[in-house]
Amino acid sequence: MTYFLKADRFLLENEEKKDLYLQVDNGLFGSFVNKVPRNATVVDWSGYTIGPGLFDTHIHGINGHDIMDGTAEAVQGISESILALGVTRFLPTTLTSSKEDLNAAISAVKKAVQQGLGGAQSEGVFLEGPYFTEKHKGAQNQNYFRDPDYAEFQEWQQLADGSIVKIALAPEREGSLEFIRAVSREGVLASLAHTDAGFNSSTHAIDAGARNFVHLFNGMSGLHHREPGVAGAALTDARAFAELICDGHHVHPDVAVLAARTKGDKLSLITDCMRAGLMPDGNYELGEFPVVMKDGIARTKTGSLAGSTLKLIDGVKNLYAWSGKPLYEIWHRASLSPAASLDRENDLGSIAVGKVADYVVIDDDISVQAVAVAGEMKYCKERK
């Protein structure tokens, strides 16, 4: 099917285009034109802005669902819930847990994808753990921490039919560099997280193939002027991406702006959202830990932040307001940068000829009005 989109402006990688028509052909973006052919189908979003679909590469759950529930229904619930928030692609994300629970979570994602997801589409599994260390454990269960085991990872990858695309670990664990080299050769994004490693150890991990830092400043040794730590390596090494949770709680707004300036297009906005997202304050669970959400902030009983309840579109709004940068630039930190971290930038993440036609229609308040996946409208808010 071929049709044309009309909007006041389109958010492109390095600019905005205004008052044009954008062709969508068989689920892919085509070219911009000033006039459409006679009898062409036009989807008119005059008065609105269109940007590429958002891509959340780190999300555990939302709306009462969690990947660690180990059910296809939970995966489907997450997919459908985040679609209305402008997310068209995501990585179902696990937690450190028992091997049995991780097997169940991986199997559930595989089953849900085989059944067909009704909302945002999975681009593969993210294993957050279990190869972490204790000091910056956050809401990860230290009872299951251990050294990286490539044979174990291969078992999970076989169970997942090769769909594990990202894994996080602490580089100070024994055998980590060999593990990073091995998974990187397979195209899996090795990421650093929940680690007390130093700057040099982090740099050695990047040399070995690690190309991503999980939730920058959280779950890692901090920046010091004599020992830059994991955070310092993340900020200063241009080879690596860094994830950022822009809810104003995990990272101070001014520090978020500093990270955005420093990392540029190597900054990926994420949510790290857990099941309490979109839910009222109250008692929840994150993995095996009880969690209390108050005023929208989820914490364990010890006071540690337990993931977030952030909507990715709100992360975009926040960094846009804090930074003063153009919306098209900030928007792509939540679409193109995540795609690029997984080597998917040629297919996803921006409006360009030949890319998958995932797009989001927003109003002047950056509120989602409609969402399309591969050119097909999947969500549309009733117009007033």
Which residue carries 């890319």 as its tokens? 355
Query: Cβ contacts of residue 190 below 8 Å, gap of 6+?
Result: 167, 169, 179, 180, 183, 184, 205, 208, 209, 210, 211, 212
Q: Both tokens of residue 74?
A: 């939970």
**Residue pair 317/248 in contact by the 8 Å Cβ criterion:** no
135: amino acid identity, one letter: K
Question: What DSSP string describes 186-216?
Answer: TT-EEEE-SB---HHHHHHHHHHT--EESST
Q: Given CA atoms 369, 249, 63, 166 in this order, what sign does their dihedral have?
A: positive
Pairing of strands 87-92, 65-66: unpaired
Alpha-carbon distance values, 282 to 74, 117, 140, 279, 298 (Å): 20, 29, 20, 8, 9
DSSP assigned state of 305: B
Query: Would residue 25 show up in a list of annotated catalytic residues for this protein?
Result: no
DSSP assigned state of 171: T
The residues that bridge with 54 in the sheet, in sequence order, are 87
DSSP assigned state of 176: H
Q: From the candidates 66, 69, 272, 358, give the one annotated as an active-site residue.
A: 272
Q: What are the catalytic residues?
A: 272
